[in-house]
Amino acid sequence: MDLYTYFRSSAAFRVRIALAIKNVSYRAVPVNLRLAGGEHRTAAYLERNPQGLVPALDVGAAVLSQSLAIIEYLEETRPSPPLLPQGSLERAQVRAMALGVACDIHPLNNLRVLEYLRGPLRQPQAAVQAWYEHWIATGLNGLESLAKRHSAAGRHLFGDSVTLADVCLVPQIANARRFKCDLSLYPTLVGIDAHLAALAPFAASRPELQPDAEPGN
């Protein structure tokens, strides 16, 4: 498998974690989102992934896009260890937390949105930072409450094992820290992140350890 990835993309971070949990070997193919206007905008990359986003996973028969779709594919084709609980209700609850990050927090704060705020909309950095912090707080407030409700021992977002929700949480917390957001209001999430970040699949997938990581980033 080839994973088209960018070291600082939280969506690619999610897929790297899932691949590591599932013990799937792959070749990382870096796609620099900043170099020369972004390699994800080149004709060659758009031929592979018309959405022009990372990550994308070439599984041989097709190139898959969208991180959660990729992870669900891995879950269906490599069910052990599972990232979703057994019961339908529990699976829906885990997916709801994962989607809270992947659909409600991340899309409002990803690189192309921040570049649009700074570029065409001509917003100063202080306004861009305020935008970022607002949507982080809005999303994490709800996730903190859900974690208190569903975490078994404060080490996972749901129950007592790693799920899809955890795979989404760790990259988002890493991004929040990179933008110097105040996380003191989310002690449950911070505690869960600390536990997960020490686990081998999460630790090995961190941005600064990727082959395309830039010094000091």
Give me the domains of the chain, ranges plus CATH numbers: 2-81 (3.40.30.10), 88-202 (1.20.1050.10)
Reference 167, options 88, 67, 93; nearest CA is 67
Average pLDDT, stretch 202-207?
Answer: 96
Per-residue pLDDT band for 214 (boundaries 50, 70, 90) equals: confident
Mean pLDDT in residue range 181-206 = 97
Please tell me whether residue 28 adopts helix, strand or coil conformation.
strand
Q: What whole-number distance in Å separates Cα of residue 91 and Cα of residue 143?
A: 16
Residue 216 in this model has a pLDDT that exceeds 90? no
CB 55 within 8 A of CB 28: no
21 CB-near residues (< 8 Å, 6+ apart): 81, 83, 162, 167, 201
pLDDT category at 127 given cuts 50, 70, 90 is very high
DSSP 9: -
Across the chain, mean pLDDT equals: 95
The structure's pTM equals: 0.94
Strands laid side by side in the 2-5 sheet: 27-30, 2-5, 56-58, 63-65
